[in-house]
């Protein structure tokens, strides 16, 4: 084989055990490996949300004009946001439910801000597969429990937007938000 | 398709044996760039640039696919999406600078690769097909680079598109309809931008396909070498791996140092500030030049300032505009017949004294002058200088090379690569099994050794 050619005899002579050349193999391949991995990082990172997407991550909503029993749809991170002013009857109905019997146990108080028990702010994104539930606009079906109803796969949410029936695993998500004044909330 | 003494791939584990039976891809790699490809032992660093060109093609495809995730080919937003890439996308600045400078480095290594081909006559039999495919790759590269430069939709992009498509307008009779058809309008606009983006995305993969043919054609006769003497015996070669993977790896490391220095410290040195101004169809930049890698050909284009007329009659045979276009395309298309212009049986410039003189004192200064004039403004004395240089360029290929190959007395060639490397004393080695006709010194005509299938 090639081992008897002049160019490779020096290799075969030192073939036993640890060779001086092992060092350069490890150093060269190690450097190439670290270099390759560090090139991979920006190639993966570039697919993450860019600075302009991250900058658009808060939304201010004026809630003063929402009448009792009425909902509005806003947009938060390119997704629908439901803001609903509950009626006294709806609050009562939500509080009547035995929390332990719920799929995703939460009280209405846990889902609203202190001092504003009638203002329910949730994402308008069904926790099953991401459709927009009905019920936020006038005349839409509110499902069996008077809250929201997702027509895609039949998930029913109650007046506190908690999942009561259908395939969705979680209540409609309440995003992080705070009151920046009595009438304006900042979501995000 | 290799020499008789090439090592054979022997799968070791049960899994690699199974793979080798079903799809012998590891075998293909082993025979192409592994220990199964015997390569002349005397290759110098000029033989590094093919691998480097392949590397930069990959850099361009990877960074390009990634940039396409953030770019929008629409005249209204294209310029803004490039700024979006530069400012908002994570590492977008780095990816874009790598892509822009990657194009320059691709051309640098390709020009070195072509230079190697010219000096060592790599285009001669039995390697004509490798050369022809290489010229095809170069033309595809030029088209790809041009269309890529249009995409940022800056001033140079726009006016580059206007000027280059205007070349087609020089074709008699059908020129103008062709230009309008290429642009999809009367000036570069959304339609042109969109199709350039589509083709700019497609062509690199076409290039990759032709590169595979290029390498396939290379592996039939095997690599040439600095002596130009064909491989005759086993001692003339070493396996590609580890010898040339290591050597190419070292060269790649050096080039990557230069490349990253450009990307991180001089990212715009090879670009034009005007391209950071959004395209404006109503205002042409004062000094409009293509990217540096097109300068020699741009100089040839501009060298033709007068119509070709029948003397004393004033009848115009060919207009200056068309002459320039023909000369510019001709200067590259000429390379397609190069293997049949240079008929000297000696390949390497080292053994061709007359060829070497005209190469170093004729062709190379001419290319340098054309390069300089292509980037200079279209005024005297640059016009006259590029006219003289253009004249020599065509003279060199069409007249000088054929004449040299007839009258030149080449220096004596070494009998074999081994002799050239080690010296005469050790040259006649005992013939072995596998080294077919290495023993019968001197009588074997060059290239008589047919590589085994």
pLDDT, tens only, B45-77: 999 999 999 999 999 999 999 999 999 999 999
Nearest to A1 among B7, B422, B426 (CB): B7
Q: What is the mean pLDDT of chain B?
A: 89
**pLDDT tens per residue across span B206-235:** 999 999 999 999 999 999 999 999 999 999
Size of interface A-B (CB pairs under 8 A): 55
pLDDT at B309 (0 to 100): 75
Contacts of A133 (CB under 8 A, 6+ apart): A124, A126, A148, A149, A150, A151, A155, A157, A172
Closest CA to B1 of B279, B328, B219, B280: B219
Q: Which residues of A touch B426 (CB under 8 A)?
A: 6
Instruction: Verify whether the Cβ–Cβ distance B66 to A8 is below 8 Å.
Output: no
Catalytic residue among B247, B272, B350, B396: B247
Indicate the pTM of the whole model.
0.84
Q: Could you give the ipTM of this predicted complex?
A: 0.77
CB B40 within 8 A of CB B418: no
Nearest CA in chain A to B35: A2
Predicted confidence (pLDDT) per residue in A63-77, tens digit: 888 888 888 899 998
Place of tokens 């009258």: B407
Q: What is the pLDDT of residue B158?
A: 94
First-residue to last-residue Cα distance in chain B = 4
**A14 pLDDT higher than 70:** no
For residue B287, the model assigns a pLDDT of 82
The whole-angstrom distance between residue A183's C-alpha and the CA centroid of its chain comes to 26
Percent pLDDT > 90 in chain B is 71
Question: Which tens digit of pLDDT belongs to each residue from A76-135?
Answer: 988 999 999 999 888 988 888 888 889 999 999 899 998 888 899 999 999 999 999 998
Residue A16 banded pLDDT, cuts 50, 70, 90: low
How many contiguous H segments (helices) and E segments (strands) does chain B have? 18, 4
The band of B430, judged by pLDDT with boundaries at 50, 70 and 90, is very low
pLDDT band at B447 (very low <50, low <70, confident <90, very high): very low
Quote the pLDDT of residue A11.
52
pLDDT at B145 over 80: yes
pLDDT bucket at B159, cuts 50 / 70 / 90: very high
| pLDDT of B445 over the 90 cut | no
Average pLDDT value for residue range B114-132: 95
The answer to whether the CB atoms of A53 and B88 lie below 8 A apart is yes
| Span B354-371, average pLDDT | 95
Closest CA to A128 of A97, A98, A150, A99: A150
SS3 category, B443: coil
pLDDT computed for residue B441 by the predictor: 41
Distance (Å) of CA A12 to CA A6, A108, A157, B238: 11, 79, 76, 14
> Chain A contact for B342, CB < 8 A?
no
Nearest to B92 among A2, A46, A53 (CB): A46
- pLDDT category at B425 given cuts 50, 70, 90 is low
- Partners of B84 on chain A (C-beta within 8 Å) are 50, 52
| Inter-chain residue contact B234 with A47, CB threshold 8 Å | no
Q: What is the DSSP string of B180-214?
A: HHHHTSSSS-HHHHHHHHHHHHHHHHHHHHHHHHH
Q: What is the pLDDT of residue B426?
A: 53
Residues 40-59 of chain A whose Cβ lies under 8 A from any Cβ of chain B: 41-43, 45-48, 50-53
Rounded to 5°, the CA angle B285-B141-B99 comes to 70
Q: Is A156 marked active-site?
A: no
Per-residue pLDDT, averaged over B195-203, amounts to: 96
Q: Testing the interface with A: which of B88, B98, B233 to mutate, by most A Cβ within 10 A?
A: B88
Chain-chain contact of B90 with A45 (C-beta, under 8 angstroms): yes
Q: Tell me, rounded to whole angstroms, the distance of Cα B395 from its chain centroid.
A: 22
Inter-chain CB proximity B70 and A28 less than 8 Å: no
3-state SS class at B146: helix
- The reply to whether B87 touches chain A by the CB within 8 Å rule is yes
Q: Contact at 8 Å (CB) between A23 and A146?
A: no
Answer whether B69 touches A (CB < 8 Å): yes
Q: Report d(CA B168, CA B166) in Å as an integer.
A: 5
Q: Which stretch of DSSP H or E encloses residue B179?
A: helix B175-183
């Amino acid at each position: 084989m090639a081992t008897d050619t002049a160019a490779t005899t020096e290799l075969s002579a030192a073939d036993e055990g640890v060779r001086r050349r092992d060092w350069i193999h490890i150093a060269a391949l190690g450097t190439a490996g670290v270099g390759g991995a560090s090139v991979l990082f920006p190639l993966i990172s570039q697919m993450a949300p860019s600075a302009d997407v991250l900058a658009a991550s808060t939304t201010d909503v004026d809630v003063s004009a929402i009448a009792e029993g009425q909902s509005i749809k806003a947009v938060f991170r390119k997704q629908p946001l439901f803001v609903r002013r509950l009626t006294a009857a709806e609050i009562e109905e939500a509080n009547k439910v035995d929390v332990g019997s719920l799929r995703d146990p939460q009280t209405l108080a846990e889902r609203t801000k202190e001092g504003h028990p009638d203002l329910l702010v949730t994402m308008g994104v069904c926790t099953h597969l991401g459709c927009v539930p009905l019920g936020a606009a006038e005349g839409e079906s509110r499902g069996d429990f008077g809250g929201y109803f997702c027509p895609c796969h039949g998930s029913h949410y109650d007046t506190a937007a908690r999942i009561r029936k259908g395939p969705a695993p979680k209540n409609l998500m309440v995003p992080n938000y705070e009151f920046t004044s009595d009438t304006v909330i900042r979501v995000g | 398709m290799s020499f008789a003494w090439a090592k054979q791939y022997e799968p070791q584990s049960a899994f690699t044996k199974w793979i080798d039976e079903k799809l012998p891809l590891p075998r293909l790699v082993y025979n192409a760039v592994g220990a199964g490809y015997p390569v002349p032992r005397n290759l110098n660093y000029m033989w590094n640039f093919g691998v480097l060109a392949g590397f930069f093609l990959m850099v361009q495809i990877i960074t390009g696919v990634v940039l396409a995730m953030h770019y929008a080919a629409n005249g209204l937003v294209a310029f803004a999406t490039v700024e979006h890439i530069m400012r908002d996308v994570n590492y977008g600045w780095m990816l874009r600078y790598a892509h822009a400078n990657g194009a320059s480095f691709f051309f640098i290594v390709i020009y070195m690769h072509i230079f190697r081909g010219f000096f060592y006559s790599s285009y001669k039999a039995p390697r004509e097909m490798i050369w022809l495919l290489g010229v095809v790759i170069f033309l595809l590269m030029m088209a790809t680079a041009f269309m890529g430069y249009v995409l940022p939709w800056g001033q140079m992009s726009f006016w580059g598109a206007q000027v280059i498509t205007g070349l087609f307008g020089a074709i008699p009779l059908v020129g103008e309809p062709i230009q309008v058809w290429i642009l999809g309008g009367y000036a570069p606009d959304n339609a042109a931008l969109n199709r350039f983006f589509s083709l700019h995305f497609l062509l690199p993969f076409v290039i990759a396909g032709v590169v595979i043919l290029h390498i396939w054609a290379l592996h039939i006769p095997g690599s040439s070498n600095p002596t130009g003497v064909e491989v005759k015996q086993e001692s003339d070669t070493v396996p590609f791996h580890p010898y040339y993977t290591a050597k190419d790896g070292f060269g790649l490391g050096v080039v990557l140092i230069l490349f990253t220095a450009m990307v991180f410290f001089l990212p715009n040195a090879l670009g034009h500030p005007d391209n950071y101004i959004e395209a404006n169809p109503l205002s042409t930049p004062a000094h409009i030049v293509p990217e540096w890698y097109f300068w020699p050909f741009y100089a040839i284009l501009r060298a033709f300032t007068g119509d070709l007329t029948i003397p004393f009659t004033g009848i115009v045979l060919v207009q200056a505009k068309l002459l320039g276009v023909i000369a510019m395309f001709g200067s590259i298309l000429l390379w397609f017949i190069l293997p049949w212009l240079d008929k000297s049986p000696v390949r390497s410039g080292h053994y061709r004294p007359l060829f070497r003189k005209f190469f170093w004192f004729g062709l190379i200064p001419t290319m340098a002058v054309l390069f300089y004039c292509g980037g200079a403004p279209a005024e005297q004395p640059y016009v006259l200088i590029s006219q003289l240089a253009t004249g020599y360029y065509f003279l060199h290929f069409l007249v000088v090379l054929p004449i040299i190959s007839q009258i030149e007395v080449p220096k004596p060639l070494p009998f074999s690569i081994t002799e050239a490397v080690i010296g005469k004393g050790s040259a006649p080695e005992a013939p072995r099994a596998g080294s077919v006709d290495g023993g019968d010194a001197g009588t074997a005509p060059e290239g008589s050794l047919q590589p085994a299938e």
